[in-house]
Amino acid sequence: MSRALLTAGDLAGTFVFAVEGGLTAARAGLDVLGILVLAFATALGGGMVRDVLLGAVPPLALQDWRYATTAFGGGALVMLLSGPLGHVPVTPLLILDAAGLALFTVTGAGKALSLKATALAAMLLGAITGAGGGTIRDVLLARVPLVLRADVYAVAALSGAGALLLARRLGASAVLAASVGAAVCFGLRTLAVLFHWKLPGILPQP
């Protein structure tokens, strides 16, 4: 995956997750600084986990000023807009989260491939990178993370990373493969959100 494409995907994912993390923080009643911190952790957590697991340290998110600026900028945008916007409904938040999931899944898998990871490692790293930021956000808010309780979340990430790998294997360019992977992940997760796909539990709840 070319460096420029990776950076573009990373920064887009950073912005999307920063806005989403900031809005979630606002809904949870955090003050303005808490909003900035949660925007930062949600936006940069996934990429930092990816870089640590790949041994690419210090993580890009800490070295390249564009990452922190984008993350804090997304958080600041939330503070500017949420006053006029008033109450934030949950569905747009879930769609934003799906976009961040798709972008980071693709950059996670792509960076793993460019560092010579195996196909399996690239697929799992894609899913971990994608789900990482949102999981850190929910853990910091002392909530069970989306990746455990949401319909078709980890499966969307694994499918997106798998589609990227398949496209690359079939000879697609890095840009095309990344686009296919992101579309599969975002599409699956968004459909699950919009149509409230529900999977059965195993045990009857008390």
Q: Which residues would be at the binding site for a copy of itself (CB under 8 A)?
A: 25-38, 48, 52-55, 57-59, 62-63, 65, 68, 78-79, 82-83, 86-88, 112, 117-118, 120-121, 124-125, 135, 139-145, 147-149, 151-155, 198-203, 205
* Residue closer to a copy of itself, measured from CB, 143 or 169: 143
Contact 187, 174 (CB under 8 A): no
Burial of 201 (C-beta count, 10 Å sphere; 0-12/13-18/19+): exposed
- Please state, in angstroms and rounded to a whole number, the distance separating the CA atoms of residues 130 and 126: 6
Q: Which of 162, 163, 98 is nearest to 131 (CA)?
A: 98
Q: Cβ of residue 147: shortest distance to a copy of itself, in angstroms?
A: 6
Nearer to a copy of itself, 3 or 198 (CB): 198
d(CA 156, CA 65): 30
CA distance 57 to 52: 6
Residue closer to a copy of itself by CB (options 171, 201) is 201
**Minimum CB–partner distance for residue 105 and a copy of itself (Å):** 14
Q: Are 158 and 151 in contact (CB under 8 A)?
A: no
State the minimum distance, in angstroms, from the CB of residue 170 to a copy of itself: 21
> Is 71 or 179 the residue whose CB approaches a copy of itself more closely?
71
Minimum distance from residue 18 beta carbon to a copy of itself (Å): 15
